[in-house]
Chains A and B, each alone.
Chain A
Amino acid sequence: MTSLFVNLTNRLGLNYEFLATGYEAQIWRDGFITTLYLIALLIPVSLIAGLLFAACLTSGKPWLSTPVRAFVEITRNTPTLVQLMFSFLVLNTFVSNLVGGTQNNPLTPFFWVVAVVGLHIAALHAEAIRAGIEAVPSATVEAARGIGFSALQILRYVEVPLALRASLPAIVNNLINLVKLTTVGNAIAVSEITYASIMVWTQRDNVVSLMIVILLFFSIINLAVARIGLWVERKLAIPGYGL
């Protein structure tokens, strides 16, 4: 099966010979799995953190909203790669010094990718959800207050359900960005798909062949994310509400 594929693509001028070898094929497969694992882990992490940030931003308490606003603005307006390098080179060193030596440091590069990319996308989610919460008509909130809901209950039962529906398109957009951002892990040697591919093509010099697969891989994932987003949007739509 593999040899047939290698032969056929070879006739097209593409080089997938490494798939027949055990070691390189293994690295490459693991690269795909690591990327998928990163995505599966990052989506819930970013959504939960984004919801928390949005709750802080709309709380109306300056001591809560000001630090979060500062974090969101800095995160949104600086490159993720710079944040990742800063976290990995500076914060990681602090943690190492704190626990007494690099060998004791429990935080892996993988952790830092999840933390940095997760919080970066969470900041984007927070902006989208905040806009959604502010778009909830004030009369609805007042009615809820009139029935005797507390501030937290209003957030939980009135504002967030409506805001999530309004901000879903923006959130799906952010999730597509998240999928693309997992590649920055390459910079700190997390063996996701681009890192694994570099390992292969430095040996085999088959950049074009690998590139075609990587581009198709990301296209398919993002298509799937967009489709699922659309499905959720339809599923949650309230008839007559116009969302």
Chain B
Amino acid sequence: MTTAVLSEQRRNGRLLRNIGFTALPLVIVLWSLTDLTLGRELVTWLPYLGSGFMMNVIISLCAMTLGTTVGAVFGILELVPFKLVRYPIVAYVQVFRNAPHLVLIFATTYIFPFEIVVAGNYLPFPDWLKAVIGLAIPASAYVAEITRGAVLSIPTTQWEAAKGLGFSRGQALRWIILPQCLRRSLPPWMNILASITMGTSLASLVGVHELLHAATDASTSVRRLDFTIIAYIVVMAAFFTLCYPIARLTLHALLPDRPPDPTPRAAFQDGLRI
């Protein structure tokens, strides 16, 4: 295959992707324009749906912040030479990595109280905050695995070289190992971000006012089948516009910057690999 054909294919692929990216919003706009009563209904409900979507974004960001902080610490603790520290954390990671997100959201919602007493003051403990914790638990388990894997992927000779230069173990971790880990763990971290963002819709099942919940509310009060359809398409389009760029960015972070080498030498090596 020549380079021209390859670049042609790549350009076609990009065109297709861009169409794909705008297809869902396009369907919504065109349909609202062809049936104006439907369009007017949708416009009146859009702010309500928007407020729901804000909740998704807030839950996702909070859960990822909390999960990443806890997970990074746990990941490093998984490599500590003391079994007493390591084993409980390995157990935590194994159990919560394998647990369904929905089960954890149910767990935090039903187990935590609806208000906490802090120094005699009753502070409300809202459901969305419980959903944040419910999603932060699996996020922390995934991040712990990524951190552990990234630290282990750095060759041991680097630790030795750092020691030779007079770095302590902590200093070597902070200044030499972790900066490299950061770059390696970015693509899997973004996968988790996308997965947790999509997981926020599960919070609707415990009564958090988020996008899916808002769409269900809207469709039950309008009582039109076409409105129900378009409301759910809006929900899909919203999640798609949030998650698709994350997926594309992950792919970019994974791929090397230069295009594949089209020289016969590379093709020859390709053949040799069999």
Contacts and interface: CB of A to CB of B under 8 A. Distances in A.
Interface of A: 66, 69-70, 73-74, 76-83, 85-86, 89-90, 93, 137-140, 176, 179-184, 186-187, 194, 198, 201, 207-208, 211, 214-216, 218-219, 221-223, 241
Contact of B103 (A69, A187, A215, A241): A215
Interface of B: 16, 20, 23-24, 94-96, 98-103, 106-107, 110-111, 194, 198-202, 204-205, 212, 216, 219, 225, 228-229, 232, 235-236, 239-240, 243-244, 247, 267, 270-271, 273-274
27 contacts: A70-B20, A74-B240, A77-B194, A78-B240, A79-B198, A79-B199, A79-B239, A82-B212, A82-B235, A83-B236, A89-B228, A89-B232, A93-B225, A138-B267, A138-B270, A139-B270, A176-B98, A179-B100, A183-B103, A184-B202, A186-B102, A187-B205, A215-B95, A216-B95, A218-B99, A219-B95, A221-B98
A74 B100 CA distance: 22
Contacts of A194: 100, 102-103, 106
Contacts of B94: 219
Given A78-B198, A82-B236, A86-B232, A139 B106 contact: no
Contacts of B212: 79, 81-82, 85
A176 B98 CA distance: 8
Q: Interface centre among B24, B102, B267, by most A CB within 10 Å?
A: B102
Given A82-B212, A90-B229, A201-B110, A73 B244 contact: yes
B202 A81 contact: yes
Contacts of B247: 76-77
A60 B12 CA distance: 13
Contacts of B102: 183-184, 186, 194
Contact of A77 (B96, B232, B235, B240): B240
A60 B94 CA distance: 41
Nearest to A162: B274
Nearest to A180: B100
Contacts, number: 117
B114 to A, nearest CB: 14
Nearest to B245: A77
A74 B233 CA distance: 11
Contacts of B101: 180
Q: Main SS of the interface on chain A? A: helix
Nearest to B229: A90
Contacts of B199: 79
A78 B243 contact: yes
Nearest to B23: A70
Q: Please give me the 7 A-B residue pairs with the lowest Cβ-Cβ distance, nearest first.
A: A139-B271, A222-B98, A180-B100, A79-B198, A79-B201, A183-B100, A77-B243
A83 B200 CA distance: 14
Given A86-B236, A139-B271, A77 B111 contact: no
A104 to B, nearest CB: 18
Contacts of B274: 137, 139-140, 241
Contact of A78 (B225, B236, B270): B236
A180 B16 CA distance: 32
Contact of B111 (A73, A137, A207): A207
Given A85-B232, A140-B274, A219-B95, A181 B100 contact: yes
Nearest to B268: A139
A180 B99 contact: yes
B111 A211 contact: yes
Given A78-B198, A215-B103, A137 B244 contact: no
Contacts of B23: 70
Nearest to A225: B98
Contacts of B225: 90, 93
Contacts of B194: 77
Contact of A90 (B20, B99, B205, B228): B228
Contacts of A184: 102, 202
Contact of B100 (A138, A208, A216, A218): A218
B205 A186 contact: yes
A186 B99 CA distance: 15
A137 B198 contact: no
A42 to B, nearest CB: 14
Given A81-B201, A82-B236, A138-B270, 16 more contacts: A70-B23, A78-B198, A78-B239, A78-B240, A79-B198, A86-B232, A180-B98, A180-B99, A180-B100, A183-B100, A187-B205, A194-B103, A208-B111, A216-B95, A221-B98, A241-B274
Nearest to B243: A77
A211 B103 contact: yes
Contacts of B267: 138-139
A5 to B, nearest CB: 21
Contacts of A186: 102, 205
